[in-house]
Each structure stands twice: as C-alpha cells, then as structure tokens.
Chains A and B, each alone.
Chain A
C-alpha cells in the first residue's frame, strides 16, 4: 500500500485543471482529471479515489448535481467543492475558495484518511470460466461477422468490454468499447467490417493458450 492518495478532480477549464493536477501531484498525490459532471460520477463510482474535488459549473451536469447523485447512490467518501461563491447545499465535506490555496489543499489531504483498498479475488476456476466464455464469444463473433450481423457483434463487444478488464485484459476491453461505439453509430461499411475482422483476430489471440505459453 502506498501512502499517496488518489484524487479525482472535476474542472471544465483545461488550464485550471492542469494547474490543480500539478498542485496535487506536487503534494505527492495521484490525480485523475475529468471535464464534466457525467465523467465525475462515473469515475467516482470506480471507488478508486480517496477524495473528489469538483468545480460547480460544469457541462452535462454541474458539480452540485453530480455530488447529489453520488450521495444518493450511497457514496460516502469526501467530496470537496471549489467555488468563488459561497455554496449553500448539503453533501459537500467542505468548500475550497477559488483560486485554490495550496496550503489549504495540503492540510485537507493530510486530514483525510486513505480509504481501504480491497483487491478483486480471481481464482483459477473463475479465470478458466472467463477464457472458456471468451472462446465461445470469439466463435459467436466469427459467425456474426460472416453474416455481417452488426447488432450481434455489438452485443458481443458489450459482453467482452464488461468482463475482460476484470481479468487483466484492459486493452481488449478498451478495443471492445471502441468497436461497440462504432457499431452503434455507423451503418454497414467496409472499413467497419475490416475493423471487426481485426477485432476477431485479437479475441482469438487473447485466449488462454496464448496467455499461458
């Protein structure tokens, strides 16, 4: 376990975001920056962060709304607001005055305890089940590709995206996500089918035999 804390920062102004990330990093923290309220909610729900710091005015959903969604979902870790104005709403652990003072930031980081981290338990049986499933999905994908069934390929991508990252296949999960987006937004075209063909090759090579040799 490292002593540095993980900080999630929501700020739609890219200059201010970079500045804040640098300030946090100079205090020994690890940071992740997001630029709207939707990303803030999604990232916070990964439960990777010890502290969330958010601007109030942000696109898609503002900092107050994002905080309220998280609290409604039982998110009980510290959320700090950043604002030039006084904020009159419950749910934030504290409000930092903008521009953010690095001494105040350091003090807050020191006072905030690090959250427990629990590793995901993956035993051999479960890993074997995953590879067995991936093999089956690869075969289904090959059939869907042959029939040029874009909807079925999208569903398979969705399944791979959800499962692969838990088993250390972050790349495969990321590729499945990208392809899934394309299969939703595009209609039948040669370039898309070419990418599907490449993806099939990647699924087949992510099988257990390749992993173990």
Chain B
C-alpha cells in the first residue's frame, strides 16, 4: 500500500505540527492501517494550491479561515481537481451553516477546534474506511 500524501493547510504553525505529530503517533501506536504518511505544509491558500497541484494529495486537512482566502473556496477547487480527495474541514466555529456548506461542497468530515486525539483518530479511520471501499 502506497503511503498516503497528506496536505496540512493552516496558518498557525503549531496547529499543523500538532496534526502531523498526532497522525504519526496514531500510526506508531498501530491505531491506523497505514504506518507512514508523506506530509506537506501550507500556511496560506496560495501555498496550498501550489502544493496541491504539485503533489495531488490523498488527504487534506483544511482550515476554513485562512488569511488570504476562504477554506471553502479551496475545498471546491480541490474537489473539482481531484474528486476522490479526502478533505477534512477544520474550524473553530462549528455553526450548522459551516458544517452543511462543507458537506455540500464535498468535505468528507469536519473537525471542530480544539483538536483532540479522538477527533483526529475518527477522521483518519474514516479516511481509511473510504479508501478500502474505493479500492474494493
């Protein structure tokens, strides 16, 4: 199984680091099927677009509120470019509008900040489940 490529999009450095550390810890503790991942980091929507077209990631963790654009706009672009890309929207504001809008635009799931180990595990397990059903 090829190692999945993960693009982390958040303007706060430690948020991306936190996600990366925790995904790796879940893999190290054998809580996921995959043991390794290939990570790419973007702090702005501009960087995210460049990295997305260059690496065609399998998974994107995407913060809704970015300094130079809305994460929802990026979501639409990513899903158009790669429909089977698994996008996890992240937001500190979990209004129903944010959540339903994300679903409508193709997000696979939604993480409400603050991060917790359980939320990250749930998103990663869902991703693995979907990849299994796609490859079956």
B-binding residues in A (CB < 8 A): 37-38, 41-42, 45-48, 60-61, 69, 72-76, 115-123, 125-126, 129-130, 133, 158-159, 161-166, 173
Most buried by A among B21, B65, B118, B119: B118
Complex alpha-carbon distance, A72 and B106, angstroms: 11
B94 within 8 A of A: yes
**Which residue from A38, A72, A123 sits with its C-beta under 8 Å from B21?**
A123
B50 within 8 A of A: no
Q: Which residues of B contact A48 (CB under 8 A)?
A: 116, 118
Nearest A residue to B119, CB-CB: A47
Q: Which residues of A contact B93 (CB under 8 A)?
A: 158
Instruction: Tell me which of B10-18, B35-43, B52-60, B70-78 binds A.
Output: B10-18
Complex alpha-carbon distance, A122 and B17, angstroms: 10
Q: Which residues of A contact B99 (CB under 8 A)?
A: 41, 69, 73
Complex alpha-carbon distance, A50 and B95, angstroms: 23
Q: How many A-B residue pairs have CB under 8 A?
A: 107
Interface size in chain B (residues, C-beta < 8 A): 39
A126 near B96 with CB under 8 A, answer no
Complex alpha-carbon distance, A120 and B122, angstroms: 13
**Which residue from A47, A72, A117, A130 sits with its C-beta under 8 Å from B103?**
A72
B61 within 8 A of A: no
**Which residue from A37, A115, A165 sits with its C-beta under 8 Å from B96?**
A37
Q: Which residues of A contact B94 (CB under 8 A)?
A: 41-42, 45
**Residues 99-120 of B contacting A (Cβ, < 8 Å):** 99-100, 103, 108-120
Q: From residue B100, how far is it (CB to closest CB) to chain A in Å?
A: 7
B122 near A69 with CB under 8 A, answer no
Q: From residue A54, how far is it (CB to closest CB) to chain B in Å?
A: 15
A45 near B13 with CB under 8 A, answer no
Q: Which residues of A contact B108 (CB under 8 A)?
A: 73-74
A118 near B96 with CB under 8 A, answer no
Q: Which residues of B contact A116 (CB under 8 A)?
A: 31, 118, 121
A120 near B14 with CB under 8 A, answer no
Complex alpha-carbon distance, A47 and B93, angstroms: 16
Q: From residue A179, how far is it (CB to closest CB) to chain B in Å?
A: 13
Most buried by B among A115, A117, A118, A165: A118
A61 near B96 with CB under 8 A, answer yes
B81 within 8 A of A: no
A121 near B25 with CB under 8 A, answer yes
Q: From residue A208, how far is it (CB to closest CB) to chain B in Å?
A: 13
Nearest B residue to A131, CB-CB: B14
Nearest A residue to B93, CB-CB: A158
